[in-house]
Amino acid sequence: MLATINRKLGLLIFIVAAVYLYLSFQLPNYEYAPIDADVIPKGLGILLLVLSVFLFFSRVVETDAEKAKRNIPKKELGVIAAVFAMIFVYILLFEAIGFIITTTLFIFFCSWFLGYRAWKTNILVSLLFPIVMYAIFVFALGIVLPRGILPF
């Protein structure tokens, strides 16, 4: 039943639409609003439900280019997942440790991880970029970035 990718995606989107529609029907009603807050969400939910059925039963054959696009080696997906994990850790520590230190570490290790081996340039960029950005945002634009454990 789930032979083609469109069937799998269709089913997934059908479930999303069903959940969204269910939540739309839980929205509270107000007597006096001519069009209440639930009208548009209900309409959208039904529309997505219908579209997911269309996608499920569509006989459009996937082109080779489309197939190649989603055929990503597991190792490469792992690399992307690792970068996302690094960003996650960055966000986690960002406010506590401060913008300059976390950003320096992130740029250095992320670039290194992705295969950048010119470590001298890497150190230079990962030090200069956060300092320059911090100066622009905090002093020129008046947008305060977390200072963290540094004194300035």
Judged by the rule CB under 8 A, the positions of this chain that interact with another protein are 5, 9, 13, 20, 23, 27-28, 30, 33-41, 44-45, 47-48, 51-52, 54-55, 58-61, 66, 69-70, 72, 76, 79-80, 83-84, 87-88, 90-91, 94-95, 103, 106-107, 110-116, 118, 121-122, 125-126, 129-130, 133, 137, 141-145
Residue 67 C-beta: closest distance to another protein, Å: 10
Residue 54 C-beta: closest distance to another protein, Å: 5
Residue among 2 and 121 whose Cβ is closer to another protein: 121
Q: Alpha-carbon distance 28 to 115, whole Å? A: 53
Residue 150 C-beta: closest distance to another protein, Å: 17
User: Radius of gyration of the chain from Cα atoms?
Assistant: 24
